[in-house]
Amino acid sequence: MQPKFKQYNQGQVELFPQRLDDYIGENDPVRLVNQVVDELDLTTLIQSYKGGGTSSFCPRMMIKVLFYAYMRNIYSCRKIEAALSENVHFLWLSGKQFPDFRTINDFRGKRLRNQINSIFSKIVLMLVELGYVSLDVQYIDGTKIEAASNRYTFVWRKSVEKNKVKLENKIRHIIKQIEKGIKEDNRAADETPTPINSAALREKIHELNADQKRSREEEKQIKELTKHQSKLQEYEQHLDKLDQRNSYSKTDPDATFMRMKEDHMGNGQLKPAYNVQISTENQFITNFGIFQNPGDTSTFNDYMDSFEQKYERHSKEVVADSGYGSEQNYDYMEARGIENFVKFTYFHKEQNKSFKNNPFLTDNLFYNQQGNFYVCPMGQKLEFIGQYKRISERGYHSELSVYQAKRCEGCPLRGSCHKAQGNKRIEVNYNLQKHKNIARTNLTSEKGLMHRSRRPIEPEAVFGQIKSNRKFNRFRLKGLEGVAVEFGLISIALNLSKMTKKSINQAKKGLKVAKSTIKNQIFDSILNYSHEWSMIFN
């Protein structure tokens, strides 16, 4: 019997049908992307285009393509360009238009630079309307993501400051030789030399060049000063870029060298990276922020301000780990009426018996509030001797009370009590103690236990999906603004993916309920019918 094959003709006029959406499933995520972007208000973005000239690609179409590309884990503009001519979903979204990779990259890196936060917050507000999130609670955590810069071109603050001091000493020596020590000898021997800046040195070189009567040796020294002036200016530029940081990358000055968990070399090597902070609720990302400092503690206030700027409100509750439990952060939440479920450094350790049973710890010492003194295990008083203020790197003032014992000599417990010379001395921060008591009460309450059980499956799980499942381990754009665009896109893509799954699950549940209702109605009608017939025959 002759086999039969389906018709095959490569010379057909139309490769695809007239309507591309005939090939797209009813519940396909691409339809949700299309619907969401169609509902977005893009007035600000559209107004950023200048009138006249050649026509531009529709910004709404470009956003759809980028959102769907990031949902499909396609982050390269060249791969997006290829998908626009190979993938029916991209063809449908673009309306059979084919922007090249340069156009896509310019739109992503330039057009979205000042728009990504607004677009992100509008999509989150859609999630609020759908009931997926409430913005009443934030589960906050941070991670480091590698920058798109060379790993071996870096600048360190200590090295710059050290070399700058050496260079200034050389410059002083040369100036001293030129001026024959007239001005330098008037300076006291113990006087600290003032720093030299490049602008003042340039003026000094100009002043020396104005003198026509110079020896050959002096001309040589002035040339050397000119070389040193350019190097000094370079050091000053390095320090300006560093600001409060300890390092930066030469190929991406906004990136700071940080210790990464994903260390492919396994030797604890520092890499140029950004500290990414996110807030989640029901595993939807409700806020994100990009920071240059590696520690989470100092990012909290600015990050919370960004949440307020996006939504014109603060969340009612904040849940975070001990990396955020500082006095400044607790003060911030208290001032804004935010209920904190933020752990402090020794929250878990103080639950252990070894901590509770250690009589020498400050937290376990007996305190006499009326007399304002502490009592050590041997019964000696640690009396109040004064207060002082401690200023953090970010300029926050903490007030500490100091207590000291009068005589610890000969105490049989001294070796276990303290190892410092002199009498035992403790410092107490009463404001921080107050905040710790509030946090401890909140964290051990029923609601606190619920938040603590949810926190590991909220932001940490989301970071796992981004970095492991979606393979987003390194940025492709440079600078704080470029990095914010990229992470904004991956956050939106993740939210849209979860929105698609939830809508599909709800549709399935609705279908099951409908089927169950129909079955029950049929069953009831059969029972009624049989009951009527039984009444007739009886």
DSSP state of 391: E
- The answer as to whether 28 is a domain residue is no
State yes or no: pLDDT of 502 exceeds 60.
yes
The reply to whether 172 and 207 lie within a common domain is: yes
Q: In this predicted model, which residue has the larger pLDDT, 496 or 11? A: 496
pLDDT on residue 212 = 63
The reply to whether 236 and 263 lie within a common domain is: no
pLDDT on residue 185 = 42
- Per DSSP bridges, beta strands 317-320 and 137-146 are parallel
Tokens of 84: 């626009």
The reply to whether 190 and 276 lie within a common domain is: no
pLDDT band at 507 (very low <50, low <70, confident <90, very high): low
Mean pLDDT calculated for residue range 284-290: 96
Residue with tokens 């019964």: 379
What b-and-e string marks burial along 196-231, b requiring 16 or more CB atoms within 10 Å of the CB? bebeebbebbeebeeeeeeeeebeebbeebeebbee
Q: In a 3-state reduction of DSSP, which class is residue 289?
A: strand
The reply to whether 182 and 241 lie within a common domain is: yes
CA 336/CA 394 separation, integer angstroms: 20
CA 318/CA 334 separation, integer angstroms: 11
Half-sphere exposure of 146 (CA within 13 A, CB side): 17
Q: What percent of the chain has a predicted confidence (pLDDT) above 90?
A: 50
- The answer as to whether 385 is a domain residue is yes
Half-sphere exposure of 108 (CA within 13 A, CB side): 30
Nearest to 145 by CA among 279, 307, 265, 289: 289
The pair phi, psi for residue 259, each rounded to 5°, is -85, 125
- The answer to whether residues 294 and 144 touch, using CB atoms and an 8 Å cutoff, is yes
Q: Per DSSP, which regions of 352-494 are E strands?
A: 366-368, 373-375, 381-391, 397-405, 425-428
Global confidence as pTM: 0.84
pLDDT on residue 182 = 40
- The answer as to whether 413 is a domain residue is yes
pLDDT band at 402 (very low <50, low <70, confident <90, very high): very high
Strand partners for 143: 276
Kindly report, residue by residue over 307-337, the tens digit of the pLDDT.
999 999 999 999 999 999 999 999 999 999 9
State yes or no: pLDDT of 84 exceeds 80.
yes
Kindly report, residue by residue over 191-224, the tens digit of the pLDDT.
556 677 788 888 877 777 776 666 777 778 778 8
Kindly report, residue by residue over 331-389, the tens digit of the pLDDT.
999 999 999 999 998 888 888 888 888 888 888 899 998 899 999 988 888 899 999 99
The reply to whether 473 and 343 lie within a common domain is: yes
pLDDT on residue 37 = 94
Q: In this predicted model, which residue has the larger pLDDT, 530 or 81? A: 81
Pick the range with the lowest mean pLDDT from 106-110, 127-131, 240-244, 401-405: 240-244
Tell me the residue range of the domain where 224 lies. 154-249
pLDDT band at 14 (very low <50, low <70, confident <90, very high): low
The reply to whether 401 and 267 lie within a common domain is: no
The reply to whether 239 and 274 lie within a common domain is: no
DSSP 93-154: HHTS----HHHHHHIIIIITTTTHHHHHHHHHHHHHHHTS--SSEEEEEEEEEE-SS-TT-E
Half-sphere exposure of 312 (CA within 13 A, CB side): 3
State yes or no: pLDDT of 512 exceeds 60.
no
CA 285 to chain centre: 12
The reply to whether 290 and 342 lie within a common domain is: yes
Pick the range with the lowest mean pLDDT from 1-10, 192-201, 260-269, 294-303: 1-10
The reply to whether 468 and 389 lie within a common domain is: no
The reply to whether 184 and 211 lie within a common domain is: yes
pLDDT band at 186 (very low <50, low <70, confident <90, very high): very low
pLDDT on residue 524 = 60
Sign of CA dihedral 19, 20, 22, 27: negative
The Cβ of residue 478 has, within 10 Å, a number of other Cβ atoms equal to: 19
- The answer to whether residues 424 and 418 touch, using CB atoms and an 8 Å cutoff, is yes
DSSP 327-345: HHHHHHHHHTTPEEEE--T
- The answer as to whether 138 is a domain residue is no
The alpha carbons of the chain give a radius of gyration, in whole angstroms, of 34
DSSP state of 292: S
Kindly report, residue by residue over 95-119, the tens digit of the pLDDT.
889 999 999 999 999 999 989 999 9
The reply to whether 266 and 333 lie within a common domain is: yes
Nearest to 400 by CA among 408, 392, 409: 392
pLDDT on residue 492 = 96
Residue with tokens 């030129």: 178
State yes or no: pLDDT of 82 exceeds 60.
yes
pLDDT on residue 181 = 42
- The answer as to whether 507 is a domain residue is no
CA 7/CA 535 separation, integer angstroms: 63
Look over the chain and give the mean of its residue pLDDT values, rounded to a whole number: 85
pLDDT band at 288 (very low <50, low <70, confident <90, very high): very high
- Based on the number of CB atoms within 10 Å of its own CB, is 128 exposed (0-12), middle (13-18) or buried (19 or more)? middle
The reply to whether 231 and 373 lie within a common domain is: no
pLDDT on residue 332 = 95
pLDDT on residue 183 = 45
- The answer as to whether 390 is a domain residue is yes
State yes or no: pLDDT of 146 exceeds 70.
yes
Kindly report, residue by residue over 26-66, the tens digit of the pLDDT.
888 999 999 999 999 999 999 988 877 788 899 999 999 99
Mean pLDDT calculated for residue range 90-97: 91
- The answer as to whether 274 is a domain residue is yes
DSSP 153-216: -EEEHHHHHHHHHHHHHHHHHHHHHHTTTTTGGGS-TTPPPPP--HHHHHHHHHHHHH-S---H
Half-sphere exposure of 415 (CA within 13 A, CB side): 1
Number of domains in the chain: 3
Nearest to 439 by CA among 343, 318, 503: 343
Tokens of 279: 């807030």
- The answer as to whether 159 is a domain residue is yes
Element (H, E) at 290: strand 284-291
